[in-house]
Amino acid sequence: MNYFLRLTFCFVLLSITSYAQKVQKFSLQDFYNYNAELEYTVDSIYNTLNDRQKVAQMIITSGGEIGKPEATVQKLAMQDAIGGVVFLKGHKQKHIDNITTLNNITTKNKTIPLLFSMDAEPSLFSSRIKGAQNVGKTIDIKNETQSDSVVTIINRELRDMGVHHNYAPVLDISPNNEAIKSRSYGDNKETVIQLANQFIKCTQEGGIIATAKHFPGHGLVKGDTHKQSVYIDGPLQEVDNYKKIIEDGVLSIMIAHITIKNNLTYDTNGLPSSCSRKIITGLLKEKMGFKGVIISDALNIMKAVTILDNAPLLASKAGCDLILMPQNEIKTIDTILAEITTNAAYKKQVMQSVKKILRLKICAGVIK
């Protein structure tokens, strides 16, 4: 009888393992590696979508207590008009309920599953998930062991809810900026790079996508882009922070709404970096060689960008793959669709972004 039970248990375990492997064939570690089967899978899914559905993959709307109303987000999912949702403040169970509802919508409609994300930095974690364990502030993390302990807690909570993408860590090197404060690892550049890189490594090994931010640097500036235009005046002092991070495989980078002036090479001519092709495509993609997913900072409430006409289109044309929290998702899709009908080079860029997003979803287990 014991032998029979053990044999049955082994058979069940083998079946579960085999099923899990079929469900999750690729991992985040596959994203940057060539794999013929992964390429084929991406292309196969991509080829089932029309242009509107493809562009919708780029759109990340907001949910949670200070995001868009649940009914609005659900309607966007039913319309196949978004690629994902970032959840802002809320209780854990409420987040789980919302994610379950949205997953049911995409399953029923046979549309591409959504990418769920959160600003789960240590300093913001307990406010994003009410009731979650308080892991302290980023500024208080002093070594890699401590960082790993914090990430383990954050990853567990995100996985429990069904969140795939963490907009963390912060690479800004000063805790004194109005917007950053305790969200920074401090003012020592080498320490910031070391601890941020460890946060990224541990996050991605745990199956959650990490995001380095705020490129090209929000630490050594005055002001808060939520409230006004903020400037890097002269050299880009924090860009080098990203070299080691990119080399070691960070999967996504968020672009700040920082305007650059008095810089002969990277002056953004009054535009925020999030809308500057010179910064995103010229510097981050071409010069620094980043091939991961680029996401804009929020486009709906931050005064540094809401003063612009058509900021979501500008962000996309500049090189952003994911358009975070546009004020009007449908209008954004329509504007991008209109532009690609007359601009072949831009259409090619958009389609590359879509394939990159689909690849990330497959590697993160969003698309089974």
pLDDT tens string 317-327: 999 999 999 99
Confidence (pLDDT) at 2: 43
With a cut of 60, say whether residue 173 has pLDDT above it.
yes
* Rounded Cα–Cα distance for residues 61 and 140 (Å): 31
pLDDT at 7 over 60: no
pLDDT confidence tier of residue 330, bands split at 50, 70 and 90: very high
The whole-number pLDDT of residue 8 equals 40
Least confident range of 1-15, 117-131, 153-167: 1-15
Name residues whose C-beta falls within 8 Å of residue 173's C-beta, 6 or more positions apart in sequence.
Answer: 184, 185, 186, 187, 188, 189, 192, 217, 219, 220, 238, 241
Task: Give residue-wise pLDDT tens across range 279-299.
Answer: 999 999 999 999 999 999 999
pLDDT band at 307 (very low <50, low <70, confident <90, very high): confident
Q: Is residue 2 part of a domain?
A: no
Per the domain annotation, does 84 fall within a domain?
A: yes
Cα–Cα dist 123/136, whole Å: 6
pLDDT at 214: 93
Q: What's the structural domain count of the chain?
A: 1
Report, as an integer, the average pLDDT of 34-42: 97
pLDDT attached to residue 175: 73
pLDDT at position 75 is 98
Q: What is the pLDDT of residue 21?
A: 41
Confidence of residue 12 (pLDDT cuts 50, 70, 90): very low
If we measure between CA atoms, which residue out of 284, 326, 337 comes closest to residue 302? 326
| pLDDT at 305 > cutoff 90 | no
Q: Nearest CA to 236 among 252, 256, 253? A: 256
In a domain, 224, yes or no: yes
- H or E segment and range at residue 28: none
What CATH number should be reported for the domain holding residue 92?
Answer: 3.20.20.300
d(CA 42, CA 40): 5
Q: Which domain holds residue 81?
A: 25-363
Residues 44-72: tens digit of each pLDDT:
999 999 999 999 999 999 999 999 999 99
Strand order in the sheet with 252-255: 211-215, 252-255, 293-296
Q: Is the pLDDT of residue 237 over 80?
A: yes
Q: Does the structure show a pLDDT above 90 at 6?
A: no
Indicate the Cα dihedral angle 105, 253, 280, 175, nearest 10°.
Answer: 130
pLDDT at 9: 34
* Residue 220: predicted pLDDT: 80
Query: Within a domain: residue 7?
Result: no
Domain assignment present for 11: no
- The pLDDT value given to residue 191: 95
Per-chain mean pLDDT for the chain:
91
20 within some domain: no
CB 112 within 8 A of CB 45: yes
Q: Which pLDDT does position 228 carry in this prediction?
A: 61
- The whole-number pLDDT of residue 20 equals 41
If you ran DSSP here, which 8-state letter would residue 272 be given? B
Supply 247's token pair: 């080399």
- Give domain status of residue 117, yes or no: yes
Give the residue carrying structure tokens 């907009």: 167
